[in-house]
A and B are shown apart, each in its own frame.
Chain A
């Protein structure tokens, strides 16, 4: 379980998160949406301390992630993180990208790590691309490799920052299909996305942020109903117009 208590953050004089209070229950999927610059990405980046907060508290399974005895690298290895731009390591092959955390963090030998990485690549449907370089695979495939890499250490939480935003439309489907499967497996997920159809179908909770404030936190049925917050209805209306 992840709990945000009065979380606030500033970039210089600009406040980008304002007293966020919310909870992500274990085994659920929370989708974050909202207009650009609303603080969605910043909020999920605070979960593994990629962005430090200046006020408030974030707890993961009851432990303050800023507690003095927390090793930030151990914390991060327990939280899978998927970036919008994939951020695969271009000098390593697909399988080496997935093996890397096992080799360097779990200190496994290559003989131990490779079968586990291959198994993970099979899970994301890319075993046949194991020896390809990231430059030689498509965007959708790159994102699936990035997801495989983020899952290889069996994290308790998977955080995804707009995992389909950098993809061509025809490749969005393959990534969303994988995320649906992961969601069905019961891994705790937080996902920033503009794919509202996906959010309606898969999310357990949807959070709406505006100007750094969490203005609405609801189940999908309520989120997409006429009872939703006016900001949400305006946002959904704008999203529909653009599609």
Chain B
């Protein structure tokens, strides 16, 4: 296993860059963070629509969330990869296709998380804003969303770990992210699949475990800040 790491560590980290395309872990992280950053405002809009007044916009948001959640991400990637170029008449970059598919998919999930944050706030917060004479936009963007998003930060970070894992599906459409690079390594080193995919699993595990630990830390910080108490960690 060590000799594989010694031989392929640079490919694993940055792909063929600078002599070829950027790839590997760097590409996985770029796809994940870009997807999350683009997903976030889309999810906020979906959450606002879902928690707003009943009407056509709420129905559209409801339809979007429930339809997207009913199909696998892989299906969405295939549609984006094969159908969109046919419709628009020119090919699009595979990494871009993957990001678009992840954004659409994750908007449905993250939108529901933020919507839960909004509906979980005490009714009095909206009433207090209304009683002051604040309109819908300042009420949502100054009062409700800052609290709702703060309360669901652990859920948002959790979705980032999901996105990191989902980015591995990019290997199906030849996006040179971490899994794709390791598939190439496996093609070269035909007889060492256990070691190669062991390394791949370890890299994903370290990334996602670190993020889940960060989520736990954030949860403790949030609860201590909101209750005004210092959390004393147990020392074993």
Other-chain contact of A149, B127, B132, B150 (Cβ < 8 Å): B132
A136 within 8 A of B: yes
Name the residue of chain A whose CB is nearest to the CB of B149. Answer: A91
Let me know if A105 and B125 touch, CB within 8 A: no
Chain A contributes a number of interface residues (CB within 8 A of B) equal to 27
Contact with B along A142-162 (1 / 0, CB 8 A): 000000011001000000000
Name the A residues within 8 Å of B91 (CB-CB): none
Q: Does B147 contact A (CB under 8 A)?
A: yes
Contact check, A73 vs B125: say whether CB atoms are below 8 A apart.
no
Given A91-B147, A136-B228: A105 and B133 interface contact (C-beta under 8 Å): yes
Closest chain B residue to A133 by CB distance? B228
Q: Hey, which chain A residues are within 8 Å of B129, CB to CB?
A: 89
Q: Say yes or no for B190: interface residue by CB 8 A criterion.
A: no
Q: Among the listed stretches A8-16, A76-84, A121-129, which one makes contact with chain B, having 4 or more residues with CB under 8 Å of it?
A: A76-84
CB neighbours of B132 from chain A (8 A): 76-77, 81, 100-101, 105, 149-150, 153
**Segment of B3-11, B80-88, B96-104, B138-146 in the binding face:** B138-146
Enumerate chain B residues within 8 angstroms of A234, measured Cβ to Cβ: none
Q: Which of A74, A83, A91, A136 contacts B128 (CB 8 A)?
A: A83
Contact A89 B143 (CB under 8 A): yes
Query: What is the interface size of chain B, counting residues whose CB is below 8 A from a CB of the partner?
Result: 22
B124 an interface residue at 8 Å Cβ cutoff? yes
Give the contacting residue for B124; candidates A73, A83, A105; CB below 8 A: A83
Q: Which residue of A lies closest to B136 (CB)?
A: A73
Query: Is there a chain B Cβ closer than 8 Å to A87's Cβ?
Result: yes
- Do A101 and B133 contact each other (CB < 8 Å), given the known contacts A91-B150, A135-B226? yes
Q: Are A87 and B125 in contact (CB under 8 A)?
A: yes
Report Cα–Cα, A85/B121, bound state, in Å.
14
**Which secondary structure dominates chain B's binding surface?**
helix
Q: Which residues of B contact A136 (CB under 8 A)?
A: 228
Determine if B60 is an interface residue (Cβ-Cβ < 8 Å).
Answer: no
Chain A residues lying within 8 Å of B173, measured Cβ to Cβ, are none
Contact A91 to B135, CB < 8 A, known contacts A50-B130, A133-B228: no
CB distance from B173 to the nearest CB of A (A): 42
Q: How far is the CB of A140 from chain B (nearest CB, A)?
A: 16
Cβ-defined contact, A50 with B131, below 8 A: yes
Do A89 and B128 touch across chains, with their CB atoms under 8 A apart? yes
Q: How far is the CA of A150 from the CA of B127 in the complex (A)?
A: 13
Residue numbers of B with Cβ under 8 A of A are 122, 124-125, 127-135, 138, 142-143, 146-147, 150, 225-228
A residues with a Cβ closer than 8 A to B are 48, 50, 73-79, 81, 83, 85, 87-91, 100-101, 104-105, 133, 135-136, 149-150, 153
Knowing that A90-B226, A100-B134 touch, tell me 18 more A-B residue pairs with CB under 8 angstroms.
A76-B130, A76-B131, A78-B133, A85-B122, A87-B122, A87-B127, A89-B125, A89-B129, A89-B143, A89-B147, A90-B147, A101-B132, A104-B134, A104-B138, A104-B142, A105-B134, A135-B227, A150-B131
17 CB < 8 A contacts A-B: A50-B127, A50-B130, A74-B133, A76-B133, A77-B132, A85-B122, A87-B122, A87-B125, A88-B128, A89-B129, A91-B146, A104-B138, A104-B142, A105-B133, A150-B131, A153-B132, A153-B133
Closest A-B pairs by Cβ, 5 of them: A77-B133, A87-B128, A81-B131, A135-B228, A87-B124
